[in-house]
Structure 1
């Protein structure tokens, strides 16, 4: 960003020139009007007074012209000088205030997101400008921190499968490792992990940029819950966790307009997340409740729960409440970010609470046939 100083016709000079121009035009107008109208009116009044001698009228008119010219000249000169002084003071203060904004903007452009604009006390407009700039700098700083953390987490997520693939392929080339069925299956699993990671990142990025494609159609909620339960039942049975469906028949028959595949992915991600954090012989509840004007879906488990310090960040990309355990169970830290992106694309909201025992994820979807957000 260029640090060049403002030219001779910067904002201060332009404001001063505009003020002087207005004053000169006003002075000229006043002079012309006074010269054209004042003597005529005075002459008519003198004639109405019927003076005895004509010289009296002439002398009085000359006195009026001299006095009015002198008074008007002094008044206009005083007004001009006062306006110039006031304009110079105001323009200097405005220029100093804007110069602070310019310096702060230059620092932010160079990566210093701690730069702030102090309050200038030049009116609500300047205070709003300073507050908006400081808010923008704070948001940019948070975005930069998130981007840095995301790149680091992404590199970590890719490092393990890439190292595994490289090590086994090198062993095959050297003849140390046999390309048998278990080895090829493991290699394919690692490649699938990379593919899923790339797909998840693409999905979250598209949702964040508003490019997530949505295929809205009438959807019976009960059918969706049954499909999701069928997809996850085997994994729950392997771990010995009971998956319970909750909701009245009337609630299950509710029809909403949504993308079946996207909404199914939301519930599947939440159920997989609950399964990872629920011990064996635990219980997970998938429920529905019609509460006009929203339809509420929830997933509740009786596992470890989420501590208060993690709740505000649980839907951020790559964020993990327990990084070591999630990586051990194959979690990438993107699943809940995908959940929030898809729900918001349906004009809905998703929240996480910790009522104890376990965690509760609640989804509220509008029932008035929303358009994709």
Structure 2
């Protein structure tokens, strides 16, 4: 900025000074021509230094000899007045009002006769950087020499530029100092949230997921801090879920193992007789353990996208009927009344799905209805079909589930029954596995209160266009 502004200013100012000097030299030249016309020689200037000074210094009227002043006064005034009015103002630096003679241009003007002999000024004509001839009626009557201020070391113009250079330089130093101070303050302001972000990410790297970054700004750094806080919260929740997962898994596996070990030790000590009833009890515990392991394996495969799905076109209502028929005996044992007439009157509904996985889904849902519906209750099947979707609803009777519990039923190991009695509570993995299967078929599953007083499970699948 300093270099650009100073170069622009100095170039413009030198151009302005050059224009002013050329105007000055031109005005002096006109007066010399007028003087030579009246006297036909340069003797008036040779005899009077004051006359020369009055001509080159334009802050005073030129002092003409008495015999020439009256003769040419009217003519010179008439000639000079229009010329003064015709002088155009400088196109640049109009705001500068230089006092007359401030550039000392007259001190650098020299006059020579027609033979190039010095009258006033430098001894030799060639000593002047600029030389112009003085013409009268197309005849050379003399020479005028001039040294521009840009070529003179001690000119007022150069002194002015030097002073301006120092002023601009001091202003530049002041601006640099202010900019440096502002940069320090601004850098500290900007670095503070960055340091906090670095500290927060280091805490996350060390496993401290409870650490949060204070949001100090509303800009991109503030957004980044908020995102890091959200990441920390997600990691904290995942850590808690992982700990809960390990705890619940170990508890689920420990229950049948404890029963097995206690009965086997009792048999070994002779407390129990290894009869058919005792062996059936042990096999049941092994089956429970195997069921838990199967559920965990399928969920792990589903999370790792390893669980395979052989998708094909099938009638989802036919698959549901098959699963419902398999549970007919269970419903009779539980005394549950099933309203499934809508399946007999509904047309087939073709979707893209895996028959085995869908039957696994239906078995889990029907198993939950058998297990959690009070004896003597009922189960209502509803079907809603549109051009793009098929919706299947299972509505059972009391007991119901609170809205808070409904939101958590798809979490693994979560059960409304807190006793963890597998005869009633199950493993808590069934609905989590159901959601995985529905998601794999691009469907939706959600829970709500049943009009029968229990829980309603609604499943929606996209249907194939005919």
- Three-state SS of the structure 1 residue aligned to 2:280 is helix
Note the residue ranges of structure 1 that are not aligned, 5 or more in a row: 1-26
Task: Tell me what 1:127 maps to.
Answer: 222
Normalised TM-score (structure 1): 0.80
Indicate yes or no: 2:148 matched with 1:78.
no
Task: Tell me what 2:121 maps to.
Answer: none
What per-residue deviation string (whole Å, max 9, x for no partner) do you get for residues 20-54 of structure 1? xxxxxxx5xx52x4566654454444434414342
**Structure showing the higher helix proportion among its residues:** 1
Normalised TM-score (structure 2): 0.65
Aligned in 2, Cα 1:248/1:77: closer, same or farther, shift over 3 Å?
farther
Indicate yes or no: 2:75 matched with 1:104.
no
Match of 1:347 among 442, 448, 457: 442
Contact 2:395 2:450 (C-alpha < 8 Å) held by counterparts: no
Match of 1:313 among 395, 400, 408: 408
- Shift in Å, 1:109: 4.5
Note the residue ranges of structure 2 that are not aligned, 5 or more in a row: 26-104, 106-146
- Shift in Å, 1:176: 4.6
Rounded Cα–Cα distance in structure 2 between residues aligned with 1:63 and 1:215: 94
Rounded Cα–Cα distance in structure 2 between residues aligned with 1:272 and 1:115: 44
Match of 2:367 among 268, 272, 282: 272
Aligned in 2, Cα 1:221/1:69: closer, same or farther, shift over 3 Å?
same
Indicate yes or no: 2:376 matched with 1:281.
yes
Match of 1:293 among 385, 388, 391: 388
Aligned in 2, Cα 1:138/1:292: closer, same or farther, shift over 3 Å?
farther
- Shift in Å, 1:193: 1.4
What per-residue deviation string (whole Å, max 9, x for no partner) do you get for residues 189-223 of structure 1? 22221121112112223333444322221121221
Task: Tell me what 1:186 maps to.
Answer: 281
Task: Tell me what 2:189 maps to.
Answer: 93
Structure possessing the higher relative contact order (Cα contacts under 8 Å, 6 or more residues apart): 1
Task: Tell me what 1:10 maps to.
Answer: none
Please give the residue correspondences for 1:1-373 in structure 2 after superposition, counting only pairs within 5 Å: 31=3, 33=4, 39-49=10-20, 50=22, 51-52=24-25, 53=105, 54-57=147-150, 58=152, 59=155, 61-63=157-159, 65-121=161-217, 123-245=218-340, 247=342, 252-324=347-419, 327-329=422-424, 331-356=426-451, 357-367=453-463
Contact 1:246 1:285 (C-alpha < 8 Å) held by counterparts: no
- Shift in Å, 1:242: 2.4
Contact 2:149 2:158 (C-alpha < 8 Å) held by counterparts: no
Pairwise CA RMSD of aligned residues? Answer: 2.8
